[in-house]
Amino acid sequence: MSRAAVPGLPSRYPIGELLPALYADDDLAQRFTAGLDTVLAPVLSTLDNLPAYFDAALAPADFLAWLATWVGAGTDPDRPPELRRAVVARAVELHRWRGTRRGLVEHLRLCFGVHAEVRDGGGVAWSDRPGTELPPPPTGELLVRVWPVAPGATVDENRLLDVVTASCPVHLTCRVEILPGPPEEAPTTPVETGG
């Protein structure tokens, strides 16, 4: 969508009708103001619909990337518009969950269209019984296993690893595995390791 001159777009507020009665029958004044109406009609149309520009579900496609920068949402122009709109609409919520398992799983689902399973080797445990043995030492590895939502879909491994690495705590190494289906059905095959 373009907010430039739109041929044939009528103005909701024609300037010629707002002139004093003296100019109502003046052909030159009416033609001059009609030319101004043609120039101002897209501007007035944009201003009339301004609230829609700030709603991710309604914003024009070319405005969506700019709207994404306002909320700090990284959108990929190669993703379908519905997914880009969902990322922008849920950006504040995703920022709230950033750095958590839930946030990473949701971010990967929205950005790549994959399901994810995150296994954190942080070594935290609790018990309701006193004298319980200590947990084993932490592995120091964050394992992220992903599989496409749609069967047969492909996942960009490099971009996926970049997103996971950016979300991984600095004291952990991260490993990403891309599976053809859910973990119960698919053997684990490591694709790439980062740290």
Intra-chain end-to-end CA distance of the chain, in Å = 43
Would you state the pLDDT for residue 195? 47
Amino acid (one-letter) located at 56 = A
| pTM, rounded to two decimals | 0.62
Per-residue pLDDT of the chain (195 residues; tens, 9 = 90+): 455 666 778 888 899 999 999 898 899 999 999 989 888 888 888 888 888 888 999 988 888 888 988 888 877 777 778 888 988 998 888 888 888 889 899 988 888 888 999 987 666 778 899 988 887 777 788 889 999 887 777 888 888 888 888 888 787 888 899 888 777 754 544 555 454
Boundaries of every domain in the chain: 100-195
Q: Cα angle at 80 between 76 and 83, to 5 degrees?
A: 75
Would you state the pLDDT for residue 152? 75
Backbone angles phi, psi at 77, to 5 degrees: -65, -15
Q: Give the tens place of pLDDT for each residue, 50-89.
A: 888 889 999 888 888 889 888 888 777 777 788 889 889 9
Cβ count near 45 (within 10 Å): 16
Q: Are 130 and 173 in contact (CB under 8 A)?
A: no
Would you state the pLDDT for residue 2? 53
Number of helical (H) and strand (E) elements in the chain, helices listed first: 8, 4
Would you state the pLDDT for residue 117? 92
Amino acid (one-letter) located at 49 = N
Please enumerate in sequence order all residues whose Cβ is within 8 A of that of 56, keeping only pairs 6 or more positions apart, or say none.
64, 67, 85, 86, 88, 89
What distance in Å separates the CA atoms of residue 149 and residue 155, rounded to the nearest whole number?
Answer: 10
Q: Give the tens place of pLDDT for each residue, 166-179.
A: 888 787 888 899 88
